[in-house]
Structure 1
């Protein structure tokens, strides 16, 4: 069944839930440097406030992916949002930095359910074309969170102190939980997992890996470059942070446009062609940045222009690619979505660690490492089997 009463209202609730999960990092980010002055501890321990949240998210993805395949996802979503609200409140009341680090792990764990359940619920609510459009819109909104949430975090920190971001997350999470509870009939019951689903079955499913890993390598390539770009631009190229901001804002704008037209274009040329085309465009953008860096040039406008296809390609392939990964999971939607996100986090973390020693060595090393990941996406699409025509 592909329809539900008020599907776009249900989609809005899922979007709010996933956005709040992302805000757990970005809204809190501005307060992190000042935490040792308030709670004691070191600057290194303060960074664990971020790392613990990511670690908890990874565990939560696997946990909710498993639970979602076994029980009512709507009840799990409500419970997770309430838990996220309560743990966020506890974070605001943390007596010390070590206590906050531990609570942040639980916060990341409890806040990851919406990201796991949303793709399967969206698949159940809409037709394939509608689901791709919905995923494109979700990706557009989520792409704005890293850009806008830190700005809101700075304002909250200046106006109300470091605890305010946690209070805001707690209040909004509880509100969304109540809305989901009150309007739960708008959320579909995703079809049950067929057969004996498991993470192992997904890991040996070559069609699933084709879409899931290519999604992770394309997005991971972009994020590896973005995470290293501020240090690369300021330390190696002698540019200001304004150059990074210009690059980011321009890239996000093109990503938003591309992700919202991806569904219509996929209807015209076919999802498989769209996924391959978008992956290739994104990889070519990073290759272009690498070649430009090898020539020793460092014009912020050229870097911004070459960064555009990286975002454009991701926007074109992201929604149909994610949707095809869910389809390829063969009804194991919760585990399938959880693994895609986990692959993205792992690719980004490993790539960022590899690139870290080279971010002050110039544009070419950082862009080259990011391009390597993005090119792997194209290779996977050319070598692994896709879904058979339905």
Structure 2
């Protein structure tokens, strides 16, 4: 287990700093708007270009990891994250800031590709699920803690301070992350087919990736729509969304800490299928409550906490199973999976956006149910077929 911690902890830190580039900055957007004398549209663009850079960089980092290796990718990605953070802090105008934010998003993409690939390739199966769950716990904590920390910083400093602090923390983490990241994934065979078409031709990977992405599409649709839901459906303020996020993050982390044991006891396939069934049932109950009338804040909070707890069971198992591929394919496979998650989240969010000004939660509940039903369909039946070549070398090593 100490080797697991030595691998996962630095990768979790760099993943967290990459996510903080979004969440620590969010409270500073109104201050930034006043400081640079820009309108709301341009201020919000600092968020949009970051997400665009993150999405656009996925396939680039997947290709780079195969060609350059994980260590060089981490060195380049984290270095760019530091430089872009300092560039944002020094930005003289909105044009420069938007360029640096786009670069920052692209740099953050390195962690989302490298971290799960390294964990899956270097740890045995049972530890890989726990390692991915540990990274997911950090990822879930950042959206809850980041805005709170960002708001606290603004009490004493201006918006530029968030970027100075982000760059400094990332710079401190850089040597530790580079040290733990291998030059090449263990058992790398460059003669094996490694192109994106070969990966997409693997039906087990494709179905598990779609299953995971569609589930996250439901999750991201709720997260993006919940602030509007709190205001228009329940007449509550911004604090209600923060409370909702805090409760759900705590539930996710509590269950994720046991996800390795759950997967080891029942098997990844049962963990994924159980999660799919539970999500369909939860979203069905949410639809029924919304159809009968306003479910109330307590009802939504119970639903959302249960949804996140179930995700902690199925998510790490599905991600680990999807990446059970030859090491030469892992970087590109991780990139495709992250791109699918971002696309599903964007489509789900935009699909329900026109209905979020109304007093009903029914459109959001229906969208989540449809996404979860589609996710369940991907693993019914579960794609068990696995060739000998698809086994990760790490999965054949003793714990």
TM-score over 0.5 (shorter chain): yes
Deviations 1:204-262 (A, max 9, x none): 32211111111111122122112111211211232344443343222222211222222
Q: Does 1:278 align with 2:275?
A: yes
Matches within 5 A, 1:101-180: 101-180=98-177
Deviations 1:155-182 (A, max 9, x none): 112211000111111111211222234x
Judged with a 3 Å threshold, the aligned counterparts in structure 2 of structure 1 residues 366 and 193 are, in CA distance, closer, same or farther, namely: farther
Judged with a 3 Å threshold, the aligned counterparts in structure 2 of structure 1 residues 111 and 240 are, in CA distance, closer, same or farther, namely: closer
Deviations 1:286-335 (A, max 9, x none): 22111100001332112212223211221100111000111146641111
User: Could you tell me how far 1:369 is from its partner in structure 2?
Assistant: 0.9
Please list every run of 5 or more consecutive structure 1 residues that lacks an aligned counterpart in the other structure: none
Deviations 1:117-165 (A, max 9, x none): 1112112332111111111111111101000001111111221100011
- What corresponds to 1:89 in structure 2? 86
- What corresponds to 1:215 in structure 2? 212
Asked whether the 8 Å contact 2:49–2:98 carries over to 1, the reply is: yes
Q: CA RMSD in A?
A: 2.0
- What corresponds to 1:372 in structure 2? 370
- What corresponds to 2:341 in structure 1? 344
Q: Does 1:204 align with 2:201?
A: yes
Query: Distance in 2 between the 1:90 and 1:389 partners?
Result: 47
Q: How many residues align?
A: 385
Q: Does 1:29 align with 2:5?
A: no
- Between stretches 322-331 and 202-211, larger displacement belongs to 322-331
Asked whether the 8 Å contact 1:218–1:283 carries over to 2, the reply is: no
Please list every run of 5 or more consecutive structure 2 residues that lacks an aligned counterpart in the other structure: 389-399
Judged with a 3 Å threshold, the aligned counterparts in structure 2 of structure 1 residues 343 and 329 are, in CA distance, closer, same or farther, namely: farther
- Between stretches 89-98 and 118-127, larger displacement belongs to 118-127
User: Could you tell me how far 1:383 is from its partner in structure 2?
Assistant: 5.2
Matches within 5 A, 1:219-368: 219-328=216-325, 331-361=328-358, 362-368=360-366
Query: Distance in 1 between the 2:87 and 2:357 partners?
Result: 39
TM-score (norm 2): 0.91
- What corresponds to 2:396 in structure 1? none
Asked whether the 8 Å contact 2:70–2:182 carries over to 1, the reply is: no
Asked whether the 8 Å contact 1:124–1:188 carries over to 2, the reply is: no
- Select which of 156, 176, 184 maps to 1:189: 184
Provide the secondary structure at the position in 1 that maps to 2:236: coil
Judged with a 3 Å threshold, the aligned counterparts in structure 2 of structure 1 residues 76 and 242 are, in CA distance, closer, same or farther, namely: closer
Query: Distance in 1 between the 2:189 and 2:111 partners?
Result: 18
Asked whether the 8 Å contact 2:185–2:327 carries over to 1, the reply is: no
Asked whether the 8 Å contact 2:230–2:237 carries over to 1, the reply is: yes
User: Could you tell me how far 1:87 is from its partner in structure 2?
Assistant: 1.2
Provide the secondary structure at the position in 2 that maps to 1:332: helix
Judged with a 3 Å threshold, the aligned counterparts in structure 2 of structure 1 residues 255 and 198 are, in CA distance, closer, same or farther, namely: same
Provide the secondary structure at the position in 2 that maps to 1:272: helix
- What corresponds to 2:379 in structure 1? 381
User: Could you tell me how far 1:267 is from its partner in structure 2?
Assistant: 1.6
Provide the secondary structure at the position in 1 that maps to 2:67: coil
Asked whether the 8 Å contact 1:193–1:332 carries over to 2, the reply is: no
